[in-house]
Amino acid sequence: MTAIPPGRTRRVAMVSAVCALAVTGMAGLTGCGSEDPDAGTNGVGKLPAATIQAKTKKAAEDAKTVRLSGTVVSNGTTYTLDMRLKSDGGTGSVTSKGASFRLLRVGEHLFLKADAQFWAHEDDKNGDKQGDTAAADKLEGMYVKVPTGDPAYKRFSGFTDKDVLLDGLLGLHGALATDGHHEQSGVPTIRITGDKGSGGALDVSLKGTPYPLLLVRAGNAGTLRLTDWGKDFPLEEPSEKETVDYGQQLPTS
């Protein structure tokens, strides 16, 4: 066996000690080499699920605006939404049963805008086959003001009400728990669930204000993305030239 020179023995021992110290230090800082997923975040990810839910609901309530897009299933009907909402109204598009229309609410005034095919189809479903083409042509591409006492007002105004809509959507059902760290459009999130996901799931931003960013509703009742928190947008009633007074109860299915 070839003997190792004393000087080399000392160098080997020193290198080994330095490596051991480095490994020990890294383990102490990162937990045996793994990165802390909450490092550099708003810290919400370290909180209990119930606390996270309370914080994200408060953040949503305090925000002046939000954009909500995705699907909602209500009473067996699937609605595809793309709505921008604020405290005094909202605007955007809704698609249901193959028909698309736009909604605009400013204060208590609700307007509905759709093409002639939409109006003709609604008239036909209600048994009105006489003169429906003329009425549909009159309404096409125009904002129709919905009377507050009309059933359609109650049916559609909820899609334009930020507080009502978010309050009804953001709740999870069952026992709350966290379900790991995720990412939505490049933003790190913490996911909370109800009853291990069967009661819904909500991704909450770990960057800045803990806004809710993605909601998977319980019972396969839809998936919604929530974006543009706090980004203002214009909201005003259409001009008289763009508006039609229907003059009677709106045709709705």
235 touches 65 (CB < 8 A): no
Q: Is residue 11 part of a domain?
A: no
Strands 143-146 and 243-244: parallel
Is pLDDT of 204 > 70?
yes
Q: Residue 157: which CATH number?
A: 2.50.20.20
**Residue 236: which domain range?**
44-244
Report the first-to-last Cα separation within the chain, whole angstroms. Answer: 95
Q: Is residue 228 part of a domain?
A: yes
Overall domain count for the chain: 1
Q: What is the pLDDT of residue 15?
A: 43
Higher pLDDT, residue 179 or 9: 179
Q: What percent of the chain has pLDDT over 90?
A: 61
Is pLDDT of 1 > 60?
no
pLDDT digits (tens, 9 = 90+) for 145-157: 999 888 889 889 9
- State how far the alpha carbon of 239 is from the alpha carbons of 41, 152, 157, 244, in Å: 46, 22, 20, 10
Q: What is the pLDDT of residue 203?
A: 98
| Confidence tier at 27 by pLDDT (50, 70, 90) | very low
Higher pLDDT, residue 141 or 212: 212
Q: Is residue 3 part of a domain?
A: no
Q: Is residue 231 part of a domain?
A: yes
Q: Is residue 31 part of a domain?
A: no
Q: Is residue 253 part of a domain?
A: no
Is pLDDT of 10 > 60?
no
- State how far the alpha carbon of 90 is from the alpha carbons of 35, 169, 234, 236, in Å: 42, 17, 10, 10
Q: Is residue 229 part of a domain?
A: yes
Q: Is residue 35 part of a domain?
A: no
Q: What is the pLDDT of residue 253?
A: 45
pLDDT digits (tens, 9 = 90+) for 38-84: 999 999 999 999 999 999 999 999 999 999 999 999 889 999 999 99
Q: What is the pLDDT of residue 138?
A: 78
Question: Rounded to 5 degrees, what are φ and ψ at 13?
Answer: -65, -40
- Give the single-character DSSP code of 226: E
